[in-house]
Structure 1
Amino acid sequence: MNKKLLFFDIDGTLYNTKKIIPQSAKDAIKAAREQGHEVAIATGRSPFFLKEVSDELEVDSFISFNGQFVVYKGQVISSRPIPLDVLQRLTKKAEENNIPIVYLDEHQMTSATKEHDEVRASMDSLFYPMPEHDAEHYKTTAIYQSLLYISEEQKPAFIEAFPELAFIRWHEFSDDVINHDVSKAYGIEQFIKHTDFTMADVIVFGDGLNDVEMLELVAQEGTSVAMGNAVPQAKEVASIVTDHVDEDGLANAMVKLGLLTK
């Protein structure tokens, strides 16, 4: 098999429901790398929040913030922070509606709200502490993603008010907010510009709503894999659907695709 470029989502793809990487997945990725394939991460997480995974898998290439911040072999190759004026308007509208908002830069997460049950619930789902309270931090550093704690009923008003932004549901209480023309698919396009790979060489693995564009794009020329636990929208556009993440879905797909032998 020709050398492939493999992109792995984290939550629900690399991480199982216990928030750990199954041994079968670790072994499969190690074997794929030993056979000459290149490994990268494609996640909605920030760089500081994927360090544990990248260290565990010895990966120094990643697409983070759903495509807003891309690193290849330790070097930043694409960076698309949310414009400050847009963040200021978003913050103002959130404040007017008593909606919590969290800001993510390359190094940390800060919150405009000191304490909120919905923010805490979402952080608990990630096994992450409450963000530091700092309502002014976003004004002095590049922010690549925001977490906006809106209900589905509130969401249309924000979509209408901010056509320059994309609102992607990641938790029952919260949306990821990024630039409207950026996604993991965009990140992959930027990534391959800096390598000798083509889209036909790419294989992606994902499960969530923020993986749909990536799975759909890569399926056109390469191969995209939706996990058995993936949302229906991801399964509909993927090249293949594998088993549940808790049932060795990642390793099974890699065997099926000929990336390694069982």
Structure 2
Amino acid sequence: MTNQSVIFFDIDGTLLDSNKELPSSTKEAIYKLKELGHIVAIATGRAPFMFEDLRKELDIHTYVSYNGQYVVLNGEVIHTNPLNIPSLEKLTEAALTNNHPVVFMDHEDMKANVPEHAYITESIGTLNIRQFPTHDPKYYKGRELYQTLLFCPEGEESQYEQEFHDFDFIRWHPVSVDILPKGGSKAIGIEKLIEKLGFPAERQFAFGDGLNDLQMLATITNSVAMGNGEEEVKKVAKFVTKSVDDNGILHGLQMVGLL
């Protein structure tokens, strides 16, 4: 296929609507892309176990998860970028003194360092997933972690940003922040896939809406921001489609000429 393209989709606010449901128009559009011979991939901040059902429903086997730290091509892991564990241990100790819980995450599970906390319940609950972190304060020992969640009100992450330079902090909820390896991003994860797939820039597309999509949309030539996206995201994208709740994926794919 001479015009074969690769299209990366964020999940929350992009593939999934404001009710965390997959619009029928989006599902049909994804299947049409695949019928036309294009490669459809997911690029998300979620852990692999948080969107397994979605991958099965859409028959997608290539994805960038954990904002680029765990990358899979056709079911095979091709790139990992774990967190610095000694630094994470120090951050966790500091967070405990501030009553800021953390959740450790690898490719299989997530564990909280406290038995329960209202911030964890509030933010994880918005993801509409079956899993919920159980308690294991030592889960970081002896394993690779690709992301950790820090739970604190907006602005209070600044103290950690100033002290822990091995990490990037990206807010995704009013009381929760992603902790990533410094410099890690969806854009880098996508770059690892493109190295394997070999698509030229003009045949690369990406759809997103959140702050963790900024680098991806700024890097990909044919970038599309959702109408419901953050204003910063819309500014860096080449195109802006309708809201996810208004058939935004279908409209965006038609806008860029893929459908």
Match of 1:195 among 194, 197, 203: 197
1:21 aligns with 2:33: no
- Measure, in 1, the Cα distance between the counterparts of 2:132 and 2:9: 26
TM-score (norm 2): 0.97
Aligned residue in 2 for 1:228: 227
For the residue of structure 2 that corresponds to 1:139, the secondary structure is coil
Give CA deviations for 1:4-63 in whole Å, capped at 9, x if unaligned. Answer: 100000000000011111010111111111111100000000011110111110000000
- Measure, in 2, the Cα distance between the counterparts of 1:123 and 1:152: 16
Aligned residue in 2 for 1:35: 36
Query: Are 1:119 and 1:130, in contact at CA under 8 Å, matched by a contact in 2?
Result: no
Query: Are 2:5 and 2:205, in contact at CA under 8 Å, matched by a contact in 1?
Result: yes
Offset, 1:257: 1.4
Aligned residue in 2 for 1:243: 242
Give CA deviations for 1:145-196 in whole Å, capped at 9, x if unaligned. Answer: 0000122332221111111210000001010010111100111111111112
Q: Deviation above 6 Å: which 4+ runs of structure 1?
A: none
Offset, 1:92: 1.2
Task: Give the total of aligned pairs.
Answer: 257
Aligned residue in 2 for 1:169: 171
Instruction: Tell me which moved more, 6-15 or 120-129.
Output: 120-129
Aligned residue in 2 for 1:186: 188
- Measure, in 2, the Cα distance between the counterparts of 1:147 and 1:60: 25
TM-score (norm 1): 0.95
State, as a whole percentage, how many aligned pairs show the same letter.
Answer: 41
Offset, 1:96: 2.1
Aligned residue in 2 for 1:95: 96
Instruction: Please show how residues 65-76 of structure 1 align to structure 2 within 5 Å.
Output: 65-76=66-77
Aligned residue in 1 for 2:132: 130
Query: Are 1:192 and 1:199, in contact at CA under 8 Å, matched by a contact in 2?
Result: no
What are structure 1's unaligned runs of at least 5 residues?
none
- Measure, in 2, the Cα distance between the counterparts of 1:186 and 1:199: 14
Query: Are 1:100 and 1:113, in contact at CA under 8 Å, matched by a contact in 2?
Result: yes
Aligned residue in 1 for 2:81: 80
What are structure 2's unaligned runs of at least 5 residues?
none
Letter in 2 for 1:33: K
Query: Are 2:64 and 2:190, in contact at CA under 8 Å, matched by a contact in 1?
Result: yes
- Measure, in 2, the Cα distance between the counterparts of 1:214 and 1:9: 10
